Amino acid sequence: MKENGTENDVLIRCKGLTLGYETGVVLTDVNFDVHAGDYVCIVGENGSGKSTLIKALLGLLPPRSGEIAFSGVSAREIGYLPQQTALQKDFPASVYEVVLSGCANSLGRTPFYGKAQHARAAENLARLGIADLAKTSYRTLSGGQQQRVLLARALCATTKLLLLDEPVAALDPIATNDLYALIRRLNREEGITILMVSHDISCALHDATHVLQLSDRGVVFFGTAAAYRKSPIGARFLRCACAADYPRIQFGVWEEE
Amino acid sequence: MLSLLREIFSYSFLVRALIVGSLVALCAALLGVSLVLKRYSMIGDGLSHVGFGALSIAMAMNAAPLAVAIPVVILAAFLLLRISQNSRLGGDSAIALIASASLAAGVLVTSLTSGLNADVYSYMFGSILAMSAEDVYLSLALAAVVLLLFVVFYNRIFAITFDESFARATGTRVSRYNLLIALLTALTIVIGMRIMGTMLISGLIIFPALTAMRVCRSFRGVVLTSAIISVFSFLAGMVLSYVMRTPAGASIVVVNALLFCLFALIGKLAKR
Give the three-class secondary structure for B140: helix
The Cα–Cα gap between B82 and B91 comes to: 9
Establish, for the pair of chains A and B, how many residue pairs have beta carbons separated by less than 8 Å. Answer: 87
The verdict on A257 and A175 lying in the same domain is: yes
Q: Assign residue B99 the CATH number of its domain.
A: 1.10.3470.10
- Report the domain count for chain A: 2
The verdict on A174 and A249 lying in the same domain is: yes
The Cα–Cα gap between A162 and A192 comes to: 7
**Residues A113, B39: C-beta atoms closer than 8 Å:** no
The verdict on A61 and A100 lying in the same domain is: no
Instruction: Choose the final residue of a domain: A123, A144, A159.
Output: A159
Q: What is the pLDDT of residue A1?
A: 41
The verdict on A177 and A189 lying in the same domain is: yes
Instruction: Choose the final residue of a domain: A119, A141, A159.
Output: A159
Q: Report yes or no on B14 lying in a domain.
A: yes
The Cα–Cα gap between A82 and A150 comes to: 9
| Residue from A84, A80, A116, A83 nearest A100 by CA | A116
**Residues A76, B171: C-beta atoms closer than 8 Å:** yes
- The Cβ of residue B61 has, within 10 Å, a number of other Cβ atoms equal to 11
Q: Which domain holds residue A98?
A: 85-159
* pLDDT band (50, 70, 90) for residue A3: very low
Q: Count Cβ neighbours within 10 Å for each residue of A23-38 and write b for 16 or more, e otherwise.
A: eeebbbebebbbbbbb
The verdict on A138 and A51 lying in the same domain is: no
Find the mean pLDDT for residues A26-40: 91
Q: Report yes or no on B228 lying in a domain.
A: yes
pLDDT tens by residue, B211-247: 999 999 899 999 999 999 999 999 999 999 999 988 8
* pLDDT band (50, 70, 90) for residue B89: low
Instruction: Choose the final residue of a domain: A101, A136, A159.
Output: A159
- Indicate the range of A27-36, A104-113, A228-237, B159-168 predicted with least confidence: A228-237
The verdict on A230 and A251 lying in the same domain is: yes
- Report the domain count for chain B: 1
Chain A residue with the nearest C-alpha to that of B159: A101
**Quick one: angle between helices B118-125 and B174-196, nearest 10?**
130
Q: Which domain holds residue B44?
A: 2-265
The verdict on A168 and A148 lying in the same domain is: no
Find the mean pLDDT for residues A165-186: 88
Q: Report yes or no on A79 lying in a domain.
A: no
Q: Assign residue A43 the CATH number of its domain.
A: 3.40.50.300
**Residues A80, B165: C-beta atoms closer than 8 Å:** yes
The A-side interface with B (CB below 8 A) comprises: 58-60, 75-76, 78, 80, 82, 85, 87-88, 91-94, 97-98, 100-102, 104-105, 107, 111-113, 135-137, 140, 153-154, 157
The B-side interface with A (CB below 8 A) comprises: 37-39, 151-156, 158-159, 162-163, 165-172, 212-213, 216-222
Q: Report yes or no on B134 lying in a domain.
A: yes
Beta strands in B105-255 (DSSP E): none
